[in-house]
Chains A and B, each alone.
Chain A
Amino acid sequence: LAKTTQPISMDSYEGQEVNITCSHNNIATNDYITWYQQFPSQGPRFIIQGYKTKVTNEVASLFIPADRKSSTLSLPRVSLSDTAVYYCLVGDRGSSNTGKLIFGQGTTLQVKP
């Protein structure tokens, strides 16, 4: 899987929009970008996945530029409950996938009141 780079930590305040950027310079043509959220002492939870341009669901938006070498997870109007670690993964969804899901260090988001 393509190596990813994220900021180690970010701080925000309640009600603000938070954008977490992930770099994946070596992304392959067949790779998708997936983001997970993890709360303390719990397993990660899938948030969103995309291939190009923009994807939006009830939780977040994912922005992917044309060159796909980075992606940005956008959390609108965060609350204290959004305090968590956010992981960016890049991998092939097709049958050639080696099966390894590699998580990096993630970005620890701290939302303050």
Chain B
Amino acid sequence: DGGITQSPKYLFRKEGQNVTLSCEQNLNHDAMYWYRQDPGQGLRLIYYSQIVNDFQKGDIAEGYSVSREKKESFPLTVTSAQKNPTAFYLCASSRRGITEAFFGQGTRLTVV
């Protein structure tokens, strides 16, 4: 089955630790995205990538980092510099230049 997979579904970390969220897709999509969603809020764009080895900051990139070494993978690292990392993180992919995106099931990160 083609799709986009995020892992893990739930993640707990201690304050001050970096943590990496996984996102893998087998849809052969060029574009991938990371969003953050806080309770009762919409999605905010963290980073996006249109092609391998290239990515751009979204609206709230501070405290996050990404890499795009493979077309299928777009991991997100939440660094200790992110002041309020507890949130629901969503990864998406689409064909380049197309606004129909496919989303993963999300990772709920809790930092204690």
- Whether a CB of chain B sits under 8 angstroms from the CB of A94 is yes
- Whether a CB of chain B sits under 8 angstroms from the CB of A59 is no
Chain B residues with Cβ below 8 Å from A94 are 97
- Whether a CB of chain B sits under 8 angstroms from the CB of A93 is yes
Binds A, one of B12-20, B68-76, B99-107: B99-107
Contact call B108/A99, Cβ cutoff below 8 A: no
In the bound assembly, the distance between CA atoms of A32 and B35 in angstroms comes to 21
| Interface footprint category on B | 20 to 34
Contact call A92/B97, Cβ cutoff below 8 A: yes
* CB of B22 to closest CB in A, whole Å: 15
Determine chain A's interface SS by DSSP, over half rule.
loop
Chain A residues with Cβ below 8 Å from B59 are 102
Contact call A105/B97, Cβ cutoff below 8 A: no
Chain B residues with Cβ below 8 Å from A100 are 45, 48, 56, 58
Write the chain A residue with the least CB distance to B6: A43
Contact call B58/A87, Cβ cutoff below 8 A: no
* CB of A18 to closest CB in B, whole Å: 19
Which chain A residues have a beta carbon within 8 Å of chain B's beta carbons? 32, 34, 41-46, 49, 85, 87, 89, 91-97, 99-106
Which chain B residues have a beta carbon within 8 Å of chain A's beta carbons? 31, 33, 35, 41-45, 48-50, 56, 58-59, 88, 90-92, 94, 96-106, 108
